[in-house]
């Protein structure tokens, strides 16, 4: 388990491993797919309220990352939904650094592609 965790931190962008767990993997002949779900961590203010509960997941967002072994890598990311039981508000946390603006690519992959021009 610990070796798998260490390997994941080398392969995936740091923000993904800080906030998400790898929950699935599938290798195809022409691509690699990984499924990631947001960890169940509350923002400190929401935790202090005591009324915020996990409420399922958002639909997955597919992000393209660096190729591995010559195959494109697709990350299927689901953010956690939260519900404040005192207000019935349903919300999700956002992570601005998951994809590069205007793309469905990780910022690291976009930087790499720009450097190859």
Looking at the structure of the chain, the number of domains it has is 1
Question: Across-strand partners of 52?
Answer: 84
Q: Tens digits of per-residue pLDDT, 17-56?
A: 888 888 998 999 999 999 989 999 998 999 899 999 999 9
Q: Is the pLDDT of residue 100 over 80?
A: no
> Cβ–Cβ contacts within 10 Å for residue 70, how many?
6
Domain range holding 60? Answer: 2-115
At residue 78, φ and ψ (nearest 5 deg) are -120, 125
Tell me which DSSP letter residue 58 carries: P
Indicate the SS3 state at residue 19.
helix
10: confidence class by pLDDT, cuts 50, 70, 90? confident
112: confidence class by pLDDT, cuts 50, 70, 90? very low
113: confidence class by pLDDT, cuts 50, 70, 90? very low
Work out the mean pLDDT of the chain and round it to a whole number: 80
> Cβ–Cβ contacts within 10 Å for residue 25, how many?
9
Q: What is the pTM of this model?
A: 0.75
């Amino acid at each position: 388990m610990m070796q798998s965790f260490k390997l994941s931190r080398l392969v995936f962008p740091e923000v993904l491993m800080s906030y998400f767990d790898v929950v699935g993997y599938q290798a195809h002949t022409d691509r690699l797919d990984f499924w990631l779900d947001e960890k169940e961590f509350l923002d400190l203010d929401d935790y202090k309220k005591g009324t915020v509960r996990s409420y399922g997941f958002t639909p997955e967002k597919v992000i393209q990352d660096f190729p591995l072994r010559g195959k494109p890598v697709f990350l299927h990311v689901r953010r956690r939904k939260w519900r404040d039981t005192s207000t019935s508000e349903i919300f999700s946390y956002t992570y601005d650094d998951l994809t590069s603006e205007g793309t469905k690519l990780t910022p690291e992959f976009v930087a790499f592609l720009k450097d190859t021009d």
